[in-house]
């Protein structure tokens, strides 16, 4: 059995073993310190338009003052549905600054998901980019929303914004027609919010670390999304933990401005946490509104040095497949952080070869603000683990009987720390924690004697073949090494003989990849019961906005096709 936190022995000397989550009296105290320290430095760059920390500070104050003037009670929930545009962070910080709770919404969510989140959270005000107004229009009458703040992509880009809005609407036609002119909705334009807010008096509310700050909804990969309660203390703790973990590298970057690529969606906890880390250190965000536009993404990367590049395996792989990406200047790149999904050894090796910067893999969850385990940032070699627990994080691995398992034995990972949620909003949380207070992650892992953790799979995604456990993640990582397979996903499907059988969905480069070649490769590289029994070729896999495969969608499709 693993005891006494053996991973602490592998911390770099500059990384503290614990952090003080009570260092600040509130989250806003932390934010205001950042604004004061870096007031005249660039905070964000989007489509060549730069905003300083001071400009973001003033815009967030205007949003906060306007919100307070709407007469909603302190602690009310305000929804935010935007991609990575300059107005995202001022709006989010303004919501928190006014004493309200922010519930970020995936701009690409379905009408069903949007209706559920608005109803479950009880939000009465929503800030939304007009690209997604049509989706809101379809469900708004079935929600508590009373006031809508409509923003355009270029609203905080000055004269450049006029051009951006014209291209988005008239050239690329990315704004579907919508009608939100019912008086009961009280629609306000975002520039008007800023203008009115600057003429209003902001009243500083009393705040405490125990107050809820963010109501972050889970991805909903196995059902309706659940609202994760994240307090100001959770967020402060996660920010300090992230800053401490990156310190061995960031403290040695001797440049005036440090740029972080922000292609991950800010509504997601992974990116939100990185935004707080960046503000703590005075970094500049290079905002990428649409990372799926690879030519545009690479053009953005070519315009300035970038030092920190967080992403998911899918993003890194797609970039590596672009010839233009290999022509970029990577001399400034110091940290390439992979998370959100399992990284593959093949992608990590290619990334190191092209950029010269090793890919560091970590693990986190919405319920812990994406802070959990990570590999040491100074490591040069990819080790296919999710690393060791971070400062003030404790991890145990338990079996089906809730007993702790020994080294190299598989079980469910359970986590405890000041960054970890107290539970879900409007839900019974009794099954979410162990008796001694560890959050049950649902991830199946094994931990070695050093404390390094290998992620096997999601507990709910595990396939039971004739009594043997098959982890889809393991099969996928093996099959991605087969020539001609660019992407794949594994699920379990009902089987009369075995109980369940392995089914693989494959995205291939050409028709030379056949079911026969796939079966042969699997038999050569996997134990028999792990080999896919069913193979289906598809043009793409269903994924969420950070590139994680939605296996539940594949299970639903299989049932629809086969009954």
Q: Report pLDDT digits (tens) over 20-77.
A: 999 999 999 999 999 999 999 999 999 999 999 999 999 999 999 999 999 999 999 9
Q: Which fold has domain 462-562?
A: GMP Synthetase; Chain A, domain 3 (3.30.300)
Q: According to the model, what pLDDT value does residue 1 have?
A: 44
Residues 6+ apart with CB under 8 A from 553: 542
Question: Strand pairing of 101-104 and 125-129?
Answer: unpaired
Asked if 344 and 477 count as a contact pair (C-beta separation under 8 A), the reply is yes
Q: Is the pLDDT of residue 219 over 80?
A: no
Distance, CA of 54 to CA of 34 (rounded, Å): 10
For the chain, give every domain's residue range: 6-21+231-458, 42-205, 462-562
* Residue 267 CA: distances (Å) to CA of 105, 106, 263, 319, 563: 6, 6, 11, 22, 36
Q: Output the average pLDDT for the chain.
A: 91
Nearest partner of 235 among 72, 391, 371, judged by Cα: 371
Q: Report pLDDT digits (tens) over 131-160.
A: 999 999 999 999 999 999 999 999 999 999
6-21+231-458 and 462-562 in the same fold = no
Which stretches of 370-471 are DSSP H helices?
none
Q: According to the model, what pLDDT value does residue 83 have?
A: 94
Confidence band of 222 (pLDDT split at 50, 70, 90):
very low
- Class assignment of domain 42-205? alpha beta
Q: According to the model, what pLDDT value does residue 543 have?
A: 85
Is the C-alpha dihedral spanning 150, 156, 159, 162 positive or negative?
A: negative
Query: For 347, phi and psi rounded to 5 degrees?
Result: -65, -40
Q: What is the mean pLDDT of residues 172-191?
A: 85
* Residue 383 CA: distances (Å) to CA of 348, 352, 375, 454: 10, 13, 9, 9
Q: Is the pLDDT of residue 374 over 50?
A: yes
> Token pair 């009408």 is at which residue?
111
Q: What is the mean pLDDT of residues 479-498?
A: 88
Cross-strand bridge partners of residue 502: 492
Bigger pLDDT: 341 vs 19: 19
Q: Report pLDDT digits (tens) over 513-544.
A: 999 999 999 988 887 888 999 999 999 999 87
Q: Is the pTM of this model over 0.75?
A: yes
Q: According to the model, what pLDDT value does residue 526 have?
A: 82
CATH dotted code for 6-21+231-458: 3.40.50.12780
Residues 6+ apart with CB under 8 A from 293: none
Name the percent of the chain lying above pLDDT 70.
Answer: 98
Asked if 68 and 62 count as a contact pair (C-beta separation under 8 A), the reply is no
Q: What is the mean pLDDT of residues 270-274?
A: 90
3-state percent breakdown (helix, strand, coil) of the chain, nearest 5: 35, 25, 40
Q: Report pLDDT digits (tens) over 430-469.
A: 899 999 999 999 888 999 999 999 988 777 788 888 767 7
Q: What is the mean pLDDT of residues 373-392?
A: 92
Distance, CA of 218 to CA of 269 (rounded, Å): 10
Q: What is the mean pLDDT of residues 304-308?
A: 94
């Amino acid at each position: 059995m693993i005891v006494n936190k053996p991973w602490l022995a592998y911390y770099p000397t500059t990384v503290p073993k614990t952090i003080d989550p009570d260092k600040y009296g509130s989250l806003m105290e932390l934010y205001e310190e950042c604004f004061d320290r870096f007031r005249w430095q660039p905070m964000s760059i989007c489509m060549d338009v730069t905003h300083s920390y001071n400009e973001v500070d003033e815009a967030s104050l205007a949003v906060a003052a306007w919100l307070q003037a709407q007469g909603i009670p302190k602690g009310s929930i305000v929804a935010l549905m935007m991609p990575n545009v300059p107005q995202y962070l001022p709006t989010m910080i303004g919501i928190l600054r006014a004493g309200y709770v922010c519930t970020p919404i995936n701009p690409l969510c379905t009408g069903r998901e949007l209706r559920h989140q608005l109803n479950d959270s009880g939000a009465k005000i929503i800030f939304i980019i007009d690209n997604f107004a049509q989706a809101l229009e379809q469900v708004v009458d079935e929600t508590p929303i009373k006031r809508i703040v409509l923003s355009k992509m270029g609203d905080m880009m000055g004269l450049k914004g006029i051009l951006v809005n014209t291209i988005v609407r008239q050239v690329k036609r990315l704004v579907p027609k919508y009608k939100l002119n019912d008086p009961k909705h009280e629609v306000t334009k975002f520039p008007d919010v800023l203008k009115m807010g600057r003429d209003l008096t902001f009243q500083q509310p009393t705040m405490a670390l125990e107050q809820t700050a963010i109501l972050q909804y889970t991805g909903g990969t196995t059902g309706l999304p659940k609202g994760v309660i994240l307090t100001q203390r959770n967020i402060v703790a996660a920010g300090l933990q992230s800053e401490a973990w990156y310190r061995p590298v960031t403290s040695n970057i001797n440049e005036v401005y440090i740029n972080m690529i922000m292609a991950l969606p800010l509504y997601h906890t992974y990116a939100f946490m990185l935004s707080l880390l960046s503000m703590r250190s005075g970094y500049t965000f290079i905002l990428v509104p649409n990372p799926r536009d690879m030519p545009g993404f690479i053009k953005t990367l070519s315009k300035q040095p970038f030092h920190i590049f967080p992403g998911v395996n899918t993003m890194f792989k797609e970039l590596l497949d672009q010839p233009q990406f290999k022509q970029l200047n990577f001399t400034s790149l110091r940290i390439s952080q992979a998370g959100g999904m399992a990284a593959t050894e093949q992608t990590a090796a290619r990334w190191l070869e092209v950029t010269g910067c090793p890919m560091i893999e970590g693990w986190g969850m919405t319920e812990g603000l994406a802070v959990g385990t990570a590999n040491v940032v100074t490591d040069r070699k990819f080790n296919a683990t999710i690393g060791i627990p971070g400062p003030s994080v404790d991890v145990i691995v338990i079996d089906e009987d809730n007993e702790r398992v020994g080294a190299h034995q598989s079980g469910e990972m359970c986590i405890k720390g000041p960054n970890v949620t107290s539970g879900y909003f409007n839900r019974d949380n009794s099954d979410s924690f162990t008796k001694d207070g560890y959050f049950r992650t649902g991830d199946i892992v094994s931990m070695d004697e050093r404390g390094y953790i290998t992620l096997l799979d999601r507990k709910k995604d595990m396939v039971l073949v004739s009594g043997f456990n098959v982890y889809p993640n393991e099969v996928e990582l093996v099959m991605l090494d087969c020539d001609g397979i660019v992407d794949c996903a594994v699920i379990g499907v009902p089987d009369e003989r075995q109980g369940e059988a392995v089914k693989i969905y494959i995205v291939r480069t050409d028709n030379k990849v056949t079911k026969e070649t796939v079966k042969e490769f699997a038999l050569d590289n996997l134990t028999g019961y792990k080999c896919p029994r069913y193979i289906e070729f598809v043009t793409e896999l269903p994924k969420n906005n950070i590139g994680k495969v939605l296996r539940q969608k594949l299970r639903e499709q299989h049932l629809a096709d086969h009954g």
